[in-house]
Structure 1
Amino acid sequence: MPTAAASSSHASTTVEDVVRRRSGELLELSHSLHAEPELAFAEHRSCAKTQALVAERGFEVTANAGGLDTAFRAEFGSGPLVVGICAEYDALPGIGHACGHNIIAASAVGTALALAEVADDLGLTVVLLGTPAEEAGGGKVLMLDAGVFDDIAATVMLHPGPIDIAAARSLALSEATIRYTGREAHAAVAPYLGVNAADAVTVAQVAIGLLRQQLAPGQMCHGIVTDGGQAANVIPASAELRYTMRATNSESLRALETRMAGCFAAGAVATGCEHTVEETAPAYAELIPDPWLSATVRAEMLRFDRSPVPEEVEASVPLGSTDMGNVTQVMPGIHPIVGIDAGGASIHQPEFAAAAAGASADGAVIEGAIMLSRTVVALAGDAAQRDRVLELQQRRAS
């Protein structure tokens, strides 16, 4: 009988062969998603496209996973080690796939298709998760809360970026909409009869600007005015802000939220307005990459002659926030950054959107799928690591 090591080695070769054999279909998927960008919770075409190839392969697809119209769960195999692969496919308003979620989805599908070929040999159940609304809305958080991840022992995905990072981190994040309500008046005839909601916005933003000097390391805030009035000659009776707050961890984020709440209240106190603060989406926790899985991905990056940033500087590389952080808070998981050539541009820039359908992005789809699938194969074939993640999953379930 072949040894576990021999079986794992054969499976590693098999999954790479599968990805390369199906590379044309994966790149077609990436380009199709890129050509028809859809926003959070409205990714109906993208959701359908992302599940099509695995459905053809025999995956059992559950639509509306977690009660979300544009989420799905596609499952193959019956092994005791259940591994999730997250596919994101939402785009950004105005600039399309400037975060490269088309690359994420296509590489996730490639990973799932590859692992299906070795699932029986490795005792795997492969779960491809269509996770909507990462950019705004926290699809993974909602799916976690609904129990979609309950039986999964470890979860993997990747994200494109300007550089390679094996053990990528992210910041905790929360978003809020702040509404001020005052009273209209003619701006020239009787301004003293008005209560100016736009002035409340100004006071709040000045307070936030002054607060920035005292923010703790890793804390940051940024926002926009979404309503500042309708006519220059009318004292605005309503105005609205939308702010994002970030911090290195959830505890620091809660402290920042408290201080920001004081700034929002200051606008109301100074002007006599009423105000409300409403959380617009579930909070994102900081991403905690699993060390063993991250080390395995690093080795895969090096095998492809990529240059991941050194381990000692990974934690200091500035990153954004992701709802994958919430997943890694409850189970082993990874969210490596796979570099593409965007001519010096970074994510959320129009130039990056253009690059997300270029040759370098195509390489990231194929190499990324190979790296993730070989990482899962390594996990399944390493008895100690396999037992570790299974034991953690059993503890969660008990």
Structure 2
Amino acid sequence: MPAVSASSTVSDVVTRRGSDLLELSHSIHAEPELAFAEHRSCAKTTALVAERGFEITAAAGGLDTAFRARFGDGPLVVGVCAEYDALPGMGHACGHNIIAASAVGAALALAEVAEELGLTVVLVGTPAEEAGGGKALLLAAGVFDDIATTVMCHPGPADIAGARSLALSEVAVTYRGRESHAAVAPHLGRNAADAVTVAQVAIGLLRQHLAPGQMMHGITTDGGQAPNVIPAHTAMKYYMRATDSASLQALEQRMADCFTAGALATGCEHDVVESAPVYRELAPDPWLADVFREEMRTLGRDPVPADLEASLPLGSTDMGNVTQVMPGIHPVIGVDAGGASVHQPEFAAAAAGPSGDRAVLEGAAMLARTVVRLAETPTERDRILAAAERRAAS
């Protein structure tokens, strides 16, 4: 009888462990936890790989809800990222339960062929993708230093093998004025709420001058306490996005001028503080993305053509930071949410429905089979290893 291929082996593992993976996905979905507080989700994500014999490092990089789970000792060290944080008030409307379960499935599958293919498999639990930049913090802490390539997949409204993303920065803006009675002595006050208004008007006028791909969106987190007291303290939170880091830096400067305008016009003081690490734009490895696209078609999916991927609406992810320093991919796995997209309640429901379950199992299989193809293609394997050696030497 012919030998069973490694690609068939990893697919069989995902099928065999399918009920466990779906139970994991549904359990994380049922108990959503926010950034840096994903204690139950983190424990659930490590459980299956710990049983399989992965070596678990808790609190990786000094983050309580991060981990590393390592299996094998081959020269090609492959990272698989698991995310498990949820959105405030919306649960897993971005489907991170699917990400965690598919990552665990890929890691379990690759463990079965690690010795045969000369792999070390590292499942990395990465908290706080929605807010806080967990992967950026883990990169800075050296958690990815020994990894040559990193893969993961993310649910969305369509199948996109070479998904892109926008660079993103997040700031907290505060204004400090002077309280006074709004009727008795308004002339003695300095209205910090007016500073917010001026800044937002300036931002609105700036929109007509934005470069392609630049955008901004924000909320007022503190607008005052009582109508009859001139507010002495207000606060906003703003996200800025752009197609690349250079464009983002240019937008940040123009936004800083808008924030300053609010202070100058009202006689208030203000501070602008970066409240999370900058998310860099995704730079998917072309060869890995091409292989993943083939795997999508093999499973009957209809991925967006490669030449249209860059024109699709984009969000932001801290996986962009990882792909900027090593080869990697962050494909999107289509989930049918009745026309809804991510960050909508309908998508949260779909993430634990039949289409979400299919994304868990097929995502795990496609990630694992893509890594198998890499390990079995000498030129590409050597390319990835050479890049890792250069990074280690720099």
- State the distance in 2 between where 1:166 and 1:178 align: 37
SS in 2 for 1:275: strand
| Equivalent position of 2:198 in the other structure | 203
Report 1:374-385 matches (<5 A). Answer: 374-385=369-380
CA shift for structure 1 position 230 = 0.3
1:234-253 alignment runs, 5 A limit: 234-253=229-248
- Secondary structure, aligned partner of 1:312: helix
Aligned to 1:310: 305
Instruction: State the partner residue of 1:25.
Output: 20
User: What's the C-alpha RMSD, in Å, of the aligned pairs?
Assistant: 1.0
Equivalent residues in 2 for 1:84-95, closer than 5 Å? 84-95=79-90
Identify the match of residue 221 of structure 1 among 216, 235, 239: 216
Counterpart among 312, 324, 328 of residue 329 in structure 1: 324
Q: Does 1:153 align with 2:148?
A: yes
User: What CA deviation, in whole Å up to 9, does each residue of 1:348-384 have, x standing for no partner?
Assistant: 0011001100000000000000000000000000000
CA distance, structure 2, for counterparts of residue 295 and residue 349 of structure 1:
30
Count of residues in correspondence between the two structures:
393
Give the match for residue 70 of structure 1: 65
1:61 aligns with 2:53: no
CA positional deviation for 1:171? 0.2
Aligned equivalent of 1:369: 364
- Match of 2:236, SS state, is strand
Which TM-score applies when normalising by structure 1? Answer: 0.98
SS at match of 1:314: helix
SS in 1 for 2:5: helix
Give the corresponding residue for 1:102.
Answer: 97
For 1:285, which of 280, 289, 302 is the aligned residue?
A: 280
Residue 350 (1) aligns with residue 348 (2): no
Partners of 1:162 and 1:307 lie apart in 2 by 12
CA distance in 2, matches of 1:271, 1:162: 44
The one of 228, 243, 257 aligned to 2:252: 257
Q: Within 1, Cα distance between the matches of 2:72 and 2:307?
A: 38
**Which of 151, 159, 162 does residue 157 from structure 2 map onto?**
162
Q: Tell me the CA shift for residue 142 of structure 1.
A: 0.4
From 377, 385, 392, the counterpart of 1:390: 385
Deviations 1:199-239 (A, max 9, x none): 00000000000000000000000000000000000000000
- Of 296, 307, 314 in structure 2, the residue corresponding to residue 319 of structure 1 is 314
Secondary structure of 1:98's counterpart equals coil
Unaligned runs of 5+ in 1: 1-5
Q: Which of 158, 172, 178 is equivalent to 1:183?
A: 178
Deviation string 1:169-219 (CA, Å, 9 cap, x unpaired) is 000000000000000000000000000000000000000000000000000
Deviation at 1:291, TM superposition (A): 0.3
**Structure 2: which amino acid aligns with 1:232?**
P
Query: Tell me, what secondary structure is at the counterpart of 1:127?
Result: strand
Amino acid at match of 1:52: A
> Which residue in 1 is equivalent to 2:225?
230
Amino acid at match of 2:190: V
1:116 aligns with 2:104: no
Q: CA deviation at 1:319?
A: 1.3
Write the distance in 2 (CA, Å) between the matches of 1:94 and 1:38. Answer: 10
CA distance in 2, matches of 1:241, 1:320: 21
Q: Distance in 2 between matches of 1:373 and 1:310?
A: 22
What is the distance in 2 between the residues matched to 1:37 and 1:66?
23
One-letter amino acid matched to 2:152:
M
Runs ≥4 in structure 1, deviation > 4 angstroms? none
- Aligned counterparts of 1:164 and 1:323: Cα–Cα separation in 2: 20
1:223-264: CA deviation from partner (whole Å, max 9, x where unpaired): 000000000000000000100000000000000000000000
Structure 2 counterpart SS, 1:82: strand
Distance 2:358 2:145 in 1: 33
Equivalent in 264, 268, 292 of residue 269 of structure 1: 264
- Which runs of 5 or more residues in structure 2 are unaligned? none
